Amino acid sequence: MKAVYLEAGKRPANRTGRHAELLRRIVAAARRERLIVRVQEAVGGVLGLVGFLLLMGAGGAEEIPAILGLGAAGLGLMWLGAWMGHAFYGQEAKAEWLCRMRERDEIE
């Protein structure tokens, strides 16, 4: 993901209206992309938590097929949540949460 910055108060004389409009659209698209990634990561976290709770609740079922079905559904939801939250190895470039942690110097 690339970030584009535009200082709103400073407008050089050589910047035309079309150029300013193009920069505004680029900034808006980058902001929209970051918002979509944040929502996707939040939904992934919720799905992972629901999957974990489903997996933990599978032990209360009385029949073996119900235990296996709930366990498989719980594991599947946990996997889907981790994938959506960009928690797997190799997804660091897409992980907005990782960028925020690096900005706050919480990790290296």
82-94 confidence digits (pLDDT tens): 888 877 766 777 7
| CA 98 to chain CA centroid, nearest Å | 10
Distance CA 96, CA 84 (A): 12
Provide the pLDDT for residue 6.
Answer: 56
pLDDT digits (tens, 9 = 90+) for 51-79: 888 888 777 767 888 888 888 888 998 98
Alpha carbons 76 and 1: distance in angstroms, whole number: 28
